[in-house]
A and B are shown apart, each in its own frame.
Chain A
Amino acid sequence: MSAIDRRPPVKRYEHGSRVPGWDEAVDLTKPPATVPDPALTPVPEELRAAIEAEMAKYPDSKSASIPALHLAQRHHGWCSPEAIDQVACVMRLTPAYLTSVASFYDMFYLQPKPSNDVFVCTNITCSLLGADEFYAAMSQAAEGHDVSVRGFECLGGCDIAPMASVNGEYVGPLHLDDARLIVEDLEAGRPVLEHKQLRHRACADPGAASSAGAPDSVPPNPAAPEEPR
């Protein structure tokens, strides 16, 4: 241990921005993180096969780093150091390279998280129409449940503002009561707010309508709460 590690941390401004990781020193007892040796890094077979399939799609296999991180995150629940080591081992990259990539993108988690994701859009359009209130309600509804709630930047669903992406499914326009329903649907393993799913929504342009009618029949809305606008 060098002298600087023994020094007590200095309390300064508490109101500067704070980022996880900034205040962390390295662990000097760890070895350097080089490209993992295949002999020392077991990788689940199905994960290895899936990553290798992604690598084969590209002229340069490094292009598969984002798809491979998606796969590892799905497999491990988050981009854990172990998950990153495994991707690094298959792709012959350093874990640091993948950590660097993963931390750049909003959809990768470098900390453990609950298994369900609710991204609440809090960008301009949604917030004009009440997203901040919904985000608060959603966060509250999710407390104590296996649901992670994040305020997200524009998800490209402004036509159903305020909206959220629940495990990838776009739903909206959302009412404050929907927060509770989302958690219930998730826990019951049901499709989430089926009547508010974007996938069933017709295009706003009058010319888009087919002679046959709307794209899919939108399921009836059981509760039909008044829309928040």
Chain B
Amino acid sequence: MPRPEQKLINLTIDGREVQAVEGSMLIDAAKQGDVEIPFFCYEPKLGEPVGACRMCLVEIEGIPKLQTSCSTPARDGMVVNTQVERVVDAQNAVIEFLLVNHPLDCPVCDKGGECPLQDYTFGWGRGRSRVIEPKRHFVKPLALSPLIAIDRERCILCYRCVRFSQEISEDWQLIFTERGAHTFVGTHDGHPYVAPFSGNIIELCPVGALTSQPYRFRARPWDIEGAGGICTLCPSQCNVEFTVRDDKVTRVLARENPGVDDGWLCDKGRFAYQAIHVDERITEPLVRDESGELKPAGWDEALQAARAVAGHRGRTAALIGGQASNEEAFMLGRIVREGLGSRDIDSRPRGSVELDLARALAAPALQAGVQDLEFAHTVLVLGTEPLDDSPILDLRIRKGVRRNGVKLAIASARPSALDPNSELSIRYAPGAEAEFLSGLEWAFEHPGSGPTHDLAQMLRDGGEDVVILWGESLPAEALATLLRIADKLGLAGRDGAGLLEVPTGTNSRGIREAGALPNAGPGYSEVDAGRSAAEIAEAAIAGDVTALYLFQVDPVRDLPGRARWERALANATVVVAHASVLTDGIAAHADVVFPAESSAEKEGTIVHPDGRLQRLRSAIKRPGQVRAGWQVLADIAKATSVETGVLTAGMAFKQLVAAVPFYAGLTLEEIGGRGVRWPETEAAAAMPAGKVPASATPGSSGTQAESNGHLRVGTYRSIWASPEVDISPALQFTVAEQLVELSPEDALRLGIEQGAAVQVAQNGTRLSGRAAIRSGVPVGTAFLAAGIAKDSANALTENLVEVVKA
């Protein structure tokens, strides 16, 4: 779908000649002439203007009544006045009306000092009050949710928060109730406003009506500084601004980047900053002593202990978690390959992908950008649940459907939150991704009917700009088919079309590009292939791998095959870990634990799934004994006789750029605060070409074992499944637990009621959870949560389970 063209026109505002984009609202056009027009309700991100606050009234010559500049598009030759008497009178009037009931409790208001109502009252009000009538008074503040406090006295009913709930997150939970001056913001029947993006309303509120429970009364605006950063809690990599007071992050705000986040944050990104400053955080090196206990140690002692890996040349393997930076991945790759003479390094939790295929999937011409989701003709969401896997994309897809008429199709095993917005939703059995895609490929060539054919037709005939958002959970054999489908649709090289991966880890893309793969070096260069993650585990059990280097990853929690990893870690002679929390695997098996940096501390770069290099900058001093990851790695490298010469994060970046041909010429300055998409740069030509394998014989259709009343297992990773959430005090109410999603039919058959305690059993493994009955779950399937601290589905090894009442 072509994006709207922008034409410039001329108009006069307060006597100034102003050039503005045709169709832009006068309130925005006025900024071009340095004319500020005050407003409360206007927020273009929220969709069509509502014109409710009446603060932005202006005079337009030729129109008798004052008009709202937030809803009047600029036209060529318009003459607009904002300083004439009747406009000033109207603005004075609106301010006076707003203050009829606003409590003016600014001294005890959290918004004080950063409050639009304060500023506009000063700038556009009369400066005196004629109101002596009693104001409304109510109990305040009240809890709207565990995260948000509401002060209804202060509310000016600007519509922003309810529009967010209705137009952006589309959860339709936050509403106006009653009418007229009695109107108030609330929810249905006393239910809390708990939704994945609820925190955005705090930032949208132009007064102190909605305040953050964790931030309330923590600071005044003059106590704080803002520091730009990136949230690294998921692959969305939203741009944020850390509010810093006394070297502590006290709040996270959105830092709008249309190419990344559109100015929104999920509640995990907004509130899990608390994990930076809690006691559970590891802030000093730990070394396991003779008694087998992890004890705080000095850096010298810890580094000395970690240098033990040097004694395991050729038998050391490394795993890297998604929160590592490109530089860290690159340096660790050098340590493993050059220093330790090993080939075993991996960052993919689900098995490796052939180099040719991996290159083809990362081909610059095939990469869709985040904004393409918004303007495509058709978007196919394949094998991922954006709300859980990359939440901010959920909002972007909704926006495309709502505002631009993007046609949405969903193909997944598990019902999706986006199903109601889609034209077509297809369910396949968990693990049957490859068969599904083969069927789709076949449907392109052969006439027929049914959902797969409908999808083929939708993709082929619905317009050229097709974006396929696919999840890393797709098995390797499905990926070749995916590429062939992309080829059939002509997505390569087409602006506004392409593939966009939702990887498991935040910086999975950058880590791979930096060479942390068993079969590829920096820049997808060819290397002698080493072991994949799963093979590393087997090798460790077999004794072929004797030392493990775990960089911000706990395989026991994060990777499939929990029991296998427990044995592998137990079997290894040396386990060195970088971690910020003592998760199960680290606590039980690590010999040395280096405190890892949080994203508010780290200096470095990461790569967004769409190829945008983004820069992490340190916003606060590293707490306690925490050292920079690159610095620790440089020390370890030295012990393995690799002289990196890295003395700053910037130097590490330069070495990375030198090693990855398609990053050539990039500088930190250029990446700046907005990032640079390398697939759009000239250097992208240096990306080695991949090959799309020819059509393979249809994969074995995974003959199903006799179910015998057991349920087939699908897994999901909730948005809340993260160690940072586990230790953030404000998010305790939402810490992910084992919710076993069942179809109503199976629940009825098994006599299980909504919310009941259940046991999930398989081969002697037992997990406890609670039943979540959900229409749309296919009969015969149960979906289990993975990535959680307790009872995680990664303990299961087979694809059938028995679910019983506990």
Shortest CB–CB separation between residue A184 and chain B, in angstroms?
34
Q: Which residues of A contact B181 (CB under 8 A)?
A: 17
Interface string of A162-177 (1 = CB under 8 A from B): 0000000000000000
Cβ-based interface call for B179 (8 A): yes
Q: Which residues of A contact B136 (CB under 8 A)?
A: 16-17, 22
Interface residues of A in 9-35 (CB under 8 A from B): 9-10, 12-13, 15-17, 19, 21-28, 30-35
Compute how far the CA of A26 lies from the CA of B173 in the bound complex, rounded to whole angstroms. 12
Shortest CB–CB separation between residue B776 and chain A, in angstroms?
9
A21 close to B184 (CB less than 8 A): yes
Compute how far the CA of A5 lies from the CA of B175 in the bound complex, rounded to whole angstroms. 22
Shortest Cβ distance from B198 into A: residue: A32
| Most chain B beta-carbon neighbours within 10 Å: one of A2, A17, A23, A26 | A26
B773 close to A39 (CB less than 8 A): yes
Shortest Cβ distance from A110 into B: residue: B177
Compute how far the CA of A228 lies from the CA of B393 in the bound complex, rounded to whole angstroms. 68
Q: Which residues of B contact A (CB under 8 A)?
A: 134-139, 141-146, 149, 152, 171-179, 181-182, 184, 186-195, 213, 420, 733, 744, 747, 754, 773-775
A23 close to B139 (CB less than 8 A): yes
Compute how far the CA of A10 lies from the CA of B138 in the bound complex, rounded to whole angstroms. 9
Cβ-based interface call for A84 (8 A): yes
Cβ-based interface call for A217 (8 A): no
B775 close to A2 (CB less than 8 A): no
Shortest Cβ distance from A93 into B: residue: B172
Given contacts A23-B139, A32-B195, contact A39 B188 (CB under 8 A): no
| Most chain A beta-carbon neighbours within 10 Å: one of B138, B142, B143, B189 | B189
| Most chain B beta-carbon neighbours within 10 Å: one of A4, A15, A96 | A96
Q: Which residues of A contact B175 (CB under 8 A)?
A: 96-97, 99-100
Given contacts A16-B136, A81-B189, A103-B177, contact A94 B171 (CB under 8 A): yes
B186 close to A21 (CB less than 8 A): yes
B142 close to A25 (CB less than 8 A): yes
B179 close to A104 (CB less than 8 A): yes
Interface residues of A in 29-79 (CB under 8 A from B): 30-35, 37-40
Query: Could you say which of A22, A34, A40 contacts B171, with CB atoms under 8 Å apart?
Result: A34
Cβ-based interface call for A95 (8 A): yes
Cβ-based interface call for A180 (8 A): no
Compute how far the CA of A23 lies from the CA of B177 in the bound complex, rounded to whole angstroms. 13
Cβ-based interface call for A92 (8 A): yes
A81 close to B143 (CB less than 8 A): no
A100 close to B176 (CB less than 8 A): yes
Compute how far the CA of A22 lies from the CA of B153 in the bound complex, rounded to whole angstroms. 9
Given contacts A16-B135, A31-B194, A32-B195, contact A22 B152 (CB under 8 A): yes
Interface residues of A in 83-101 (CB under 8 A from B): 84, 92-100
Shortest CB–CB separation between residue B101 and chain A, in angstroms?
9
* 7 A-B pairs with least C-beta separation: A39-B744, A100-B175, A25-B142, A96-B188, A33-B191, A94-B172, A32-B194
Query: Could you say which of B141, B184, B213, B420 contacts A19, with CB atoms under 8 Å apart?
Result: B184
Compute how far the CA of A33 lies from the CA of B186 in the bound complex, rounded to whole angstroms. 12
Compute how far the CA of A23 lies from the CA of B151 in the bound complex, rounded to whole angstroms. 10
Shortest CB–CB separation between residue B682 and chain A, in angstroms?
48
Given contacts A17-B181, A17-B182, contact A24 B190 (CB under 8 A): yes
Shortest CB–CB separation between residue B500 and chain A, in angstroms?
27
Q: Which residues of B contact A38 (CB under 8 A)?
A: 775
Q: Which residues of A contact B174 (CB under 8 A)?
A: 96
Other contacts beyond A21-B177, A33-B191, A95-B188: 9, CB < 8 A? A22-B152, A24-B142, A25-B144, A25-B190, A28-B145, A28-B192, A84-B188, A94-B173, A96-B174
B143 close to A26 (CB less than 8 A): yes
Compute how far the CA of A81 lies from the CA of B519 in the bound complex, rounded to whole angstroms. 58
Q: Which residues of A contact B138 (CB under 8 A)?
A: 16, 22-23
B143 close to A5 (CB less than 8 A): yes
Count of residues in A whose CB is under 8 Å from the partner chain:
42
Compute how far the CA of A5 lies from the CA of B145 in the bound complex, rounded to whole angstroms. 11
Q: Which residues of A contact B137 (CB under 8 A)?
A: 12-13, 16
B177 close to A100 (CB less than 8 A): yes
Shortest CB–CB separation between residue B128 and chain A, in angstroms?
22
Q: How many residue-residue contacts, CB under 8 A, span A and B?
A: 132
Compute how far the CA of A28 lies from the CA of B420 in the bound complex, rounded to whole angstroms. 27
Given contacts A39-B744, A81-B188, contact A99 B420 (CB under 8 A): no
Shortest Cβ distance from B162 into A: residue: A100
Compute how far the CA of A34 lies from the CA of B194 in the bound complex, rounded to whole angstroms. 10
Q: What are 30 of the A-B contact pairs (CB < 8 Å)?
A: A2-B143, A4-B142, A4-B143, A5-B142, A16-B134, A19-B182, A21-B177, A21-B184, A21-B186, A23-B139, A26-B145, A26-B187, A26-B190, A28-B145, A28-B146, A32-B195, A33-B189, A34-B171, A39-B744, A39-B747, A39-B774, A40-B773, A94-B173, A95-B188, A97-B172, A99-B188, A99-B189, A100-B175, A103-B179, A104-B178
Shortest CB–CB separation between residue B195 and chain A, in angstroms?
6
Shortest CB–CB separation between residue B543 and chain A, in angstroms?
49
A22 close to B184 (CB less than 8 A): yes
| Most chain B beta-carbon neighbours within 10 Å: one of A39, A81, A84 | A39
Shortest Cβ distance from A80 into B: residue: B189
B176 close to A32 (CB less than 8 A): no
Shortest CB–CB separation between residue B653 and chain A, in angstroms?
43
Query: Could you say which of B135, B146, B149, B187 contacts A96, with CB atoms under 8 Å apart?
Result: B187
Given contacts A27-B191, A28-B146, contact A15 B134 (CB under 8 A): yes
A30 close to B773 (CB less than 8 A): no
Compute how far the CA of A97 lies from the CA of B186 in the bound complex, rounded to whole angstroms. 11
Q: Which residues of B contact A94 (CB under 8 A)?
A: 171-173, 188
Shortest CB–CB separation between residue A85 and chain B, in angstroms?
9
Shortest CB–CB separation between residue B235 and chain A, in angstroms?
25
Compute how far the CA of A32 lies from the CA of B733 in the bound complex, rounded to whole angstroms. 12
B139 close to A32 (CB less than 8 A): no
B135 close to A33 (CB less than 8 A): no
B754 close to A40 (CB less than 8 A): yes
Shortest Cβ distance from A32 into B: residue: B194
Shortest CB–CB separation between residue A226 and chain B, in angstroms?
39
Shortest CB–CB separation between residue A192 and chain B, in angstroms?
29
B179 close to A39 (CB less than 8 A): no
Query: Could you say which of A16, A26, A32, A92 contacts B420, with CB atoms under 8 Å apart?
Result: A92
Compute how far the CA of A182 lies from the CA of B483 in the bound complex, rounded to whole angstroms. 77
Shortest CB–CB separation between residue B798 and chain A, in angstroms?
27
Q: Which residues of B contact A26 (CB under 8 A)?
A: 142-145, 187, 190-193
Query: Could you say which of B141, B144, B191 contacts A30, with CB atoms under 8 Å apart?
Result: B191
Shortest CB–CB separation between residue A199 and chain B, in angstroms?
30
| Most chain B beta-carbon neighbours within 10 Å: one of A10, A32, A34 | A32
| Most chain B beta-carbon neighbours within 10 Å: one of A19, A31, A98 | A19
Q: Which residues of A contact B213 (CB under 8 A)?
A: 2, 4
Compute how far the CA of A26 lies from the CA of B194 in the bound complex, rounded to whole angstroms. 11
A28 close to B143 (CB less than 8 A): yes
Q: Which residues of A contact B193 (CB under 8 A)?
A: 26, 32
Shortest CB–CB separation between residue A185 and chain B, in angstroms?
32
Shortest Cβ distance from B743 into A: residue: A39
Compute how far the CA of A93 lies from the CA of B213 in the bound complex, rounded to whole angstroms. 29
Compute how far the CA of A104 lies from the CA of B775 in the bound complex, rounded to whole angstroms. 32
A30 close to B192 (CB less than 8 A): yes
Q: Which residues of B contact A93 (CB under 8 A)?
A: 172
A37 close to B773 (CB less than 8 A): yes
Q: Which residues of B contact A92 (CB under 8 A)?
A: 420
Q: Which residues of B contact A30 (CB under 8 A)?
A: 190-192
| Most chain A beta-carbon neighbours within 10 Å: one of B145, B175, B744 | B175
Shortest Cβ distance from B176 into A: residue: A100
Q: Which residues of A contact B178 (CB under 8 A)?
A: 19, 21, 103-104
Shortest CB–CB separation between residue B437 and chain A, in angstroms?
30
A32 close to B192 (CB less than 8 A): yes
Compute how far the CA of A24 lies from the CA of B140 in the bound complex, rounded to whole angstroms. 9
Compute how far the CA of A99 lies from the CA of B744 in the bound complex, rounded to whole angstroms. 27
Q: Which residues of B contact A2 (CB under 8 A)?
A: 143, 146, 149, 213
Shortest Cβ distance from A29 into B: residue: B192
B173 close to A32 (CB less than 8 A): yes
| Most chain A beta-carbon neighbours within 10 Å: one of B152, B178, B420 | B178
